[in-house]
Amino acid sequence: MKPIGVIHSSFREKAQTPIQPTRSLGVGTVEVYPEYAGGLQDIEGFSHIILLYIFHQSHEYSLLVKPFLDDHLHGLFATRHPERPNPIGFSIVRLLSRSDNILKIKGVDVLDGTPLLDIKPYVPDFDVRTDVKTGWYAQRSKK
Amino acid sequence: MKPIGVIHSSFREKAQTPIQPTRSLGVGTVEVYPEYAGGLQDIEGFSHIILLYIFHQSHEYSLLVKPFLDDHLHGLFATRHPERPNPIGFSIVRLLSRSDNILKIKGVDVLDGTPLLDIKPYVPDFDVRTDVKTGWYAQRSKK
């Protein structure tokens, strides 16, 4: 695994960083390294993109964690906590514009300097489920 | 990056494998290695989970590809093609049941033996977007 680019945001510290893209109005940029820029062709047709990246400030993990939105312990894989055995993050952001290898995005929820692993187009036919149950999240102690 | 488990399916060859979970009724299992099983606590409350895994039979990539659903070339990052600089796949599957470290899932679209990197709960508040445009996919040549 090697970064294909870097995500720039205004968030310099974990405590400042929004919990999820849907809770962020932050604008940022995705810089795709020039050798990969050819892979961005046609991406501007998509309003939303999926970013896969490294939680680069996560170095240890526990199998039981308290998520940001709850006061109870849950299994790590039943949460979106950033400290994981493979610290890969995944965010769906709005693509505002593209200028060559630079994507301007909205809804950024990652630290400035986050290493980018992949970009995929967000496609509701693939990525939306209905009739969903959300366990502890539906009963969470914080909104 | 090291696998935390393995995904078992009935698909032994790439050509057999469904294009996306939403096009698959396939039932499979996720075997989480015993040392990570504690992280599964409370996951059975979620009807759908996100699997991150390695496209382990992808070894090379092109920056321009023809997606399975279209006859035209598109930038790799505007497609879900499995051959990528960091060959990480992402599928949302239905969680049918859990027995200790084994999850029974429906909608599996990966090859048998796929190395698992992470499991996250699918949460519509985080993972669903509306007012979406899907570029070439909306005009694709194959359904």
Residue A118 touches partner B, C-beta closer than 8 Å:
yes
Are A123 and B80 in contact by the 8 Å Cβ rule? The answer is yes
Alpha-carbon distance of B84 to B80, in angstroms, equals 9
Q: Does B106 touch chain A (CB under 8 A)?
A: no
According to DSSP, the residues that pair with A94 across neighbouring strands are A48, A106
Rounded to a whole number, what is the distance in Å from the CA of A122 to chain B's nearest CA? 7
Dig out the tokens for B137 from the structure: 């996919």
Chain A residues touching B94 at Cβ < 8 A:
129
- Those residues with Cβ within 8 angstroms of residue B15's Cβ, 6 or more apart along the chain or in another chain: none
Say yes or no: ipTM exceeds 0.90: yes
Residues of chain A short of pLDDT 50, as ranges, are none
> In the prediction, which pLDDT does A24 show?
73
- Residue B32: closest C-alpha in chain A: A77
Q: Write down the pLDDT at residue B26.
A: 84
Query: Which of B50, B85, B137 has its CB closest to that of A123?
Result: B137
Q: Residue holding tokens 């409350």? A: B45
CB contact residues (below 8 A), chain B span 6-25, against chain A: 20-22
E strands, B1-143, are: 5-8, 27-32, 48-54, 64-65, 74-75, 88-99, 102-106, 114-121
| Predicted confidence pLDDT, tens digits, chain B (143 residues) | 899 999 999 888 877 777 777 777 789 999 999 999 999 999 999 999 999 999 999 889 999 999 988 999 999 999 999 999 999 999 999 999 999 999 999 988 899 999 999 999 999 999 999 999 999 999 988 77
From residue A116, give the alpha-carbon distance in Å to each of A23, A88, B46. Answer: 21, 10, 28
pLDDT mean across residues, chain A: 93
Q: What is the pLDDT of residue A50?
A: 97
Chain A's closest residue to B24, CA to CA, is: A126
Best mutation site among B19, B127, B136 for testing chain A: the one with the most A CBs within 10 Å? B127
A77–B contact, CB cutoff 8 A: yes
Of B39, B73, B121, the CB nearest to A135: B121
Is A31 near chain B, with CB under 8 Å? Answer: no
